[in-house]
Amino acid sequence: MMTTASLPSSSDAPAELADQRILVTGSTRGIGRAIAAELLARGATVAIHGRSNVTEVAAELGESCHPLTADLDSAGSGREVVEQAADALGGLDGLVNNAGGGEAIAFRGLELDRWRTTFRLNLEAAFEASQAAYLVMRRERRGSILNVASLAAHGAGGLMGADYAAAKAGLVSLTKSLAIEAARFGIRCNAVSPGFIETDMTSDLPDKQRQGLGIPMRRLGLPEEIATTVSFLMSKRASYVTGQVIHIDGGLWLGG
């Protein structure tokens, strides 16, 4: 049986993000919700985003949380959600592109429409949101953009499929390209690449299959373990960090 882990509470976390206004896309559940909760615990004002149930989640997370309901499937929607967040928060200091998803389909059965849908959600919407946020942040000559990629971005799609892996690889490349251009304006852009995390997407994995994943730390990660790294990268403690992609995978990438 794989081991489990627990994290200390964030209730006593320092308010190092007290002056930050941050949008987290795809943040009503899983990794996105954990990121929003961590940023709020560290004093940020956070706009959360999702397709449904957003108002209820915002109420649960607290008064410094602002709900935005939007579907990122259509062209321009990534830009629009950033504009809405900037209006609601009175500006924007940070963006976390977490919205994404996929469903494994064998390469031989992957159709172009499905490929495009996966790219739309995982890459194009993040591009639109990043570009819109970048233009806002340039006026202030400061800000931080964080992209949630995936371990799949750095190799074969495996359980997530070729379309998902290719889209996330594009997100990694986008991260580095923006980091180069934005640095002279005081704007940083980084990414995290989670491995297998305890979310809805992995909840049905039987224990035998979990053991067969070959994770050196012998367990799946927790959403909160992604959130704490994201919080660091969004903070002034990471003020000289840009263009980096941090693997959070229990050592799985070490085995190639």
**d(Cα 84, Cα 92) in Å, to the nearest integer?**
10
Contact status, residue 229 vs residue 183, Cβ threshold 8 Å: no
Tell me, yes or no, if 134 is annotated catalytic: no
Helix, strand or coil, per DSSP, at residue 23: strand
Question: Any idea of the CA torsion for 14, 243, 226, 124, to the nearest 10 degrees?
Answer: 120
**d(Cα 47, Cα 44) in Å, to the nearest integer?**
10
Element spanning 224, H or E: helix 223-234
Kindly state the greatest CA–CA separation across the chain: 52
Contact status, residue 161 vs residue 102, Cβ threshold 8 Å: yes
Amino acid at the residue 134? Y
Q: Centre a 10 Å sphere on the Cβ of residue 101 and count the other Cβ atoms it contains.
A: 13
Element spanning 164, H or E: helix 162-182
Contact status, residue 218 vs residue 2, Cβ threshold 8 Å: yes
Q: Out of 164, 196, 213, 226, pick the active-site residue.
A: 164
**d(Cα 251, Cα 254) in Å, to the nearest integer?**
5
Buried b / exposed e across 140-170, counting CB within 10 Å, b at 16+?
Answer: eeebbbbbbbbbbbbeebeebbbbbbbbbbb
Q: Which residues are catalytic?
A: 164
